[in-house]
Every structure is written in structure tokens, then in C-alpha cells.
Amino acid sequence: MRRRIVVVVGVVAVAASTVVVAVASTTAAGLPAYTNGYQKWPKLNAKPTRGTPLGRSAHNGLKNVYASKKKVGSKYPNGTVIVKSIAQTDDKPARPSQVAVMRKTSGRWKYIEYQLSGSRYTVLAQGQLCQSCHMQAKANDYVFTKR
């Protein structure tokens, strides 16, 4: 009898910790938790930038680029997250209409971009599409914006 109670308690504890992990992986607004607090990271751009890069339609708006880590030599270390916020003039400052993210794991960048719909961010585009253009910044570890 006593043994059964211990087992039940154990299962409840595991279930509770699983819930905590699931909640921690995204922020309230739907962005991944690894972007949390990006607005306070050092900026890679001296001033907000505007315009459509390379004459194409990617990233159009008022832009700031934030990096969670500094380059070591010519490369960003594993675990670096780079966030570009892309605001339209009527956006509320805390919620830019688009958030583009590069995150380095195992020596490779993963690309994903979110778009605000209502009060939550949903995935706009990711992967190969992004990488094919960022190839042009290969000399700076695939990051266009330089300090």
C-alpha cells in the first residue's frame, strides 16, 4: 500500500516538471525563450536602419540587430542568438511586427523569422530561403550587420 503511494507521487512530480519545461520554451508572445530579453543585448547596428536589403523584399522596415554574444576572432561562438527586430511605423515599440532570428548550434546557423498576428508571433519563414541569401555575408560569418 505504502509503495503505491510513493509511485503515484513520483508520476505527479514528473508530470509537473514536464509542464514547466514546455512553458519555459516559448515566451508569452510566442517567440522562442532563447530570444528573451533581446532588447537589452548589445546592438550590432550603430543606428536603426531602413530599406529593403539587396533590392529584394526581405526585412523591410525600421530595423535593429541585437547579438547575445560577441564574435571570437572571425566567428560567433556556438549558442549565439542574433535577433533583428523589424518595426513598421505604426507598431507598438515592445512588439515589432517581425522578428528575424539566427541561432548558432554545432557551428551552423539556424534561421527563423516570426510575424506578429494579433498579439502573438507566428512563424513567417525559415531555413534554406534565409540561408541562400545570407551566403553573401559568408566573410562575416553569414552576418550582414557589422559593428
Closest approach, Cβ 83 to ligand HEC, in A, equals 6
Which residue's CB is nearer to ligand HEC, number 120 or number 131? 131
Which residue's CB is nearer to ligand HEC, number 8 or number 54? 54
**What's the grid cell of residue 104?**
548558432
Q: Which residues bind ligand HEC (CB under 6 A)?
A: 49, 53-54, 56, 58-59, 63, 65, 82, 84, 100-102, 111-113, 125-126, 129-130, 133-134, 137, 143-145
Contacts of 91 (CB under 8 A, 6+ apart): 97, 116
DSSP 43: B
Contacts of 5 (CB under 8 A, 6+ apart): none
Distance CA 23, CA 110 (A): 22
Distance CA 66, CA 99 (A): 11
Which residue's CB is nearer to ligand HEC, number 87 or number 102? 102
Closest approach, Cβ 85 to ligand HEC, in A, equals 9
**What's the grid cell of residue 94?**
515592445
Closest approach, Cβ 137 to ligand HEC, in A, equals 6
Closest approach, Cβ 1 to ligand HEC, in A, equals 56
